[in-house]
Chain A
Amino acid sequence: MERKNFLKSLVIGAVSSSVLVEACKKDTDTATTTTTTSGSSSSGSTSGSTDSSSCSVVPTETEGPYPTKSPASYVRSDITDGRTGYKLTVNITIKNSNSSCAALSSALVDIWHCDAEGNYSEYGGSGTQSTNYTTVHFLRGRQTTDSNGLVTFTSIFPGWYTGRATHIHVHVYNSSGTSLKVTQIAFPEGTGTALAAVSGYSKGMSGYTYNASDGVFSDGYTLELATVTGSTTAGFVLAISLSVPA
C-alpha cells in the first residue's frame, strides 16, 4: 500500500507540466555552474549532469568521447536500403529561375519514392512510439547540389500504386533549409520507354494511371518529365533539370 502511494506521487509529479517547465528553467540556469565546478573543459562532454537537482553529485569521469557533427540519416546517395528492383541512377540538376537559369549550388535536395510494390517506407508514422536507432527510411534521401547544380542518387525504378502514375517526389531547399520548391518527377510512357520495360514489376500494368489521367500531372507535366535511358539488365539512368526561384 505504501509502495502504491509512492508510485502515485511520482506519476502526479510527472504530469504536472507547470512544475516541469519551472524546473526546466531552474535547471538550465544552474547548468553552467555545474559544468564550471566539475572542472571539465569548456567544450563539454556527454558525461556532465546539466539538470539534476542541486544536491546531486557532479560527474567524475574521464572526459569524452567528444560528439562530432552527424548529418541527418537522410543524407546519403544510395537510398536503396536493400529494396529489390531495377537499378535507377537519378541525376537532378537544380537551376535558379531568378538568375538566368544558372546552376544552383549548395541547395538541399530531398527525394522519396515508393518501392517495386508501390509502398513507401515508414515516414513519421504516428510519432508516438519510441524507436530503435536501426530504423530505416528506405528510398528516401538527401544530397547537396555541387557547383553544377547536380545531385545524384542510386535507387531502384519505382513501382506504382492505385490512382497515381509512377513518380518521384522532390523537395528543394536553399542551404539554410528554406523551401524553394516541392514538385514531382514524371516518367515518359509508351513503347520503348523504361516504364514499358519495367512493366510495373510483378504487378503488371493493369489498372495503371497514366500521366494524362494522373491527378498531379494531368494539368501539364512537360517541366516535370524526366529523360530515362538504359535497360533492365544494365540499369536505368534518369536525368532532369528543375528550375526553382532562389
Chain B
Amino acid sequence: MQKRVIILCYRKIIDARSVKQWDKLVFESTYLEFKMQAQNFSHGTAYTSYAELMRNVPNAQRITGMVTPSVTGYVQQLGSIMPDILNNIGRRFLTFSRFQLEIINSDINDKDKHQVAINFYSEPLIWHDTIDNYLLLSVHSPENQSSAENNSISTNLMQLQPYINISSLQYHN
C-alpha cells in the first residue's frame, strides 16, 4: 500500500499580546534585534516600519535573516519538541529540526507593532488516515517500522487546527 509522507508546518504567532514566558522572551529578543538590524537599512531615510523598509530600501529583505540569530537560543531550548501542538491526549508529540523566522510587522519606534511568526517544520510523518477532524500520524523513520511480531506501529491522533499546514506531501511505496 502507498504511504503518504507529510511535513507539518506550525506557524506560531508572537506579538505584544503573547502571554507565555517563552513567547515573551522571543518577543523581546526579536524586537531588540529587529530594531538594531533595521537601523542598518533605515539610516538616512525617514522609514521606520518593516513594511516601509521592505517597500523602499534595497536589500531590506535581508533583515529577517539578520534577526534570526536572536531566536536560535530559544529554539534550542525547546529541545526539538514543537511547542503548543498536542495530540488528543494532551501531550506535545511533534518533533522538528527546521524553523523559519518571519517578521510580520514591526517598527523601529513602536514595539507594540512588533509581530513575528516562527514556522516550525515537523520531521516527516506518515499520514495513515483521517478520522473526523483528526489526522492519524506516525513518525516516518526506520526506527518506527511496524514490527514483524504484531505488525503495529506507534501513532498519534492530532486535531486539524488553525496555523497548522501540511507543507509537503510525498507518496512512498
Mark A residues whose CB is within 8 Å of B.
6-7, 10, 14, 20, 23-24, 27-28, 31-32, 35, 43-53, 55-61, 65-74, 108, 110, 122-133, 135, 137, 171, 173, 176-179, 182
Give the residue name and chain of the B residue nearest to A132 (CB): B98
Q: B72 touching A46 by the CB < 8 A rule? A: no
B88 sits at the interface (CB 8 A): yes
B70 touching A127 by the CB < 8 A rule?
A: no
Residues of B bordering A, CB below 8 Å: 12-13, 15, 17-23, 25, 29, 32-33, 35-36, 39-40, 43, 59, 61-66, 68-70, 72-79, 81, 83-86, 88-92, 97-100, 119, 121, 130, 159, 161-163, 165-166, 169
- The answer to whether A10 and B121 touch across the interface, beta carbons within 8 angstroms, is no
Q: What 16 new A-B contacts, CB under 8 Å, besides A65-B79, A122-B65?
A: A23-B162, A44-B23, A46-B81, A52-B161, A58-B90, A60-B91, A67-B21, A70-B29, A124-B62, A124-B63, A124-B66, A125-B62, A127-B62, A131-B99, A133-B76, A135-B68
Top 5 A-B residue pairs of the complex, sorted by shortest distance between their CB atoms: A124-B62, A70-B73, A124-B65, A60-B90, A127-B64
Q: How far, in angstroms, from A135 to B70 measured CA to CA in the complex? A: 12
Say whether B74 contacts A70, CB under 8 Å: yes
Q: Which of B35, B39, B72, B169 contacts A133 (CB 8 A)?
A: B72
> What's the Cα separation between A153 and B166 when bound, in Å?
44
Q: Is A49 within 8 A of B76, CB to CB?
A: no
Between-chain CB contacts (< 8 Å), 20 pairs: A20-B162, A43-B21, A44-B20, A44-B23, A50-B19, A52-B161, A55-B159, A59-B91, A60-B90, A72-B70, A124-B63, A124-B64, A125-B62, A126-B62, A126-B65, A128-B61, A130-B99, A133-B76, A135-B72, A179-B39
Minimum Cβ distance to chain B for residue A127 (Å): 4
Cα distance, A129 to B99, chains bound together (Å): 9
Total A-B Cβ pairs within 8 A: 177
Tell me the bound Cα distance from A28 to B12 in angstroms.
11
Name B36's contact: one of A31, A59, A173 (CB within 8 Å).
A173
Alpha-carbon separation in the docked complex, A14 to B39 (Å) = 32
Q: Is the CB of A171 within 8 A of B40?
A: yes
- Whether A7 and B77, one on each chain, are in contact in the complex, defined by CB atoms closer than 8 angstroms, is no
Contact A27 B162 (CB under 8 A): yes
**When the two chains form their complex, are residues B32 and A123 in contact, meaning their CB atoms are under 8 A apart?**
no
B79–chain A nearest beta-carbon distance, Å: 8
Structural contact, A110 and B36, CB atoms closer than 8 A: yes
Neighbouring A residues of B84 by C-beta, 8 Å: 46, 48-52
Residues of A within 8 A of B61 (CB): 124, 126-128
Contact of A73 with B69 in the complex, beta carbons under 8 Å: yes
Contacts of A20 in B (CB 8 A): 162-163
CB nearest to B30 among chain A residues: A72
Contact A127 B83 (CB under 8 A): no
Contact of B13 among A24, A44, A135, A177 (CB under 8 A): A24
Q: List, in ascending order, chain B residues with CB within 8 A of A129's CB.
A: 100
Find the residue from B18, B22, B69, B119 having the highest chain A CB count within 10 A: B69
